[in-house]
Amino acid sequence: MQTLITEGIKISVEPFYLPNESLPAKQKYVHAYRVTIENQSRHTVQLMRRNWHIVESSGLKREVEGEGVIGEQPVLAPGKSYQYTSWCPLMTDLGKMYGTYTMQRLPDGETFKVRVPEFQLVPPFKMN
């Protein structure tokens, strides 16, 4: 699990491979990742946007940007956490992801970026 804290917001990411969704013979490798967002600050915050960078071992790079995560823009009071699971298809067996969340402090509306730690997308058959 990879973890980073930015301005009191702790982001932890745990990736895992989905063998039942993957078709290696057709260059389809599907990975999922579980993200836990913990508000360790003294402010209530809301996750407004996400920005992901996806890098495949072939050098192919993609960027995914949009509102919220999995269709939600969760609000976290101090001491609260939010967890979600999403997925990412790759055309190569190895890759990595990293990014940022745009958070908004409530009620003053100030926005700030929270870093999502870089994490590796590696199927078990590539590990020693």
CATH number of residue 83's parent domain? 2.60.40.1470
Asked if residue 30 is part of any domain, the answer here is yes
Asked if residue 125 is part of any domain, the answer here is no
Q: Are 35 and 13 in contact (CB under 8 A)?
A: yes
Asked if residue 128 is part of any domain, the answer here is no
Asked if residue 36 is part of any domain, the answer here is yes
Range of the structural domain that residue 79 is part of: 2-117
Asked if residue 123 is part of any domain, the answer here is no
Q: How many domains does the chain have?
A: 1
Query: Mean pLDDT score of the chain, rounded to an integer?
Result: 95
Q: Give the confidence band of 86 by pLDDT, cuts at 50, 70, 90.
A: very high
Per-residue model confidence (pLDDT) at position 128? 59
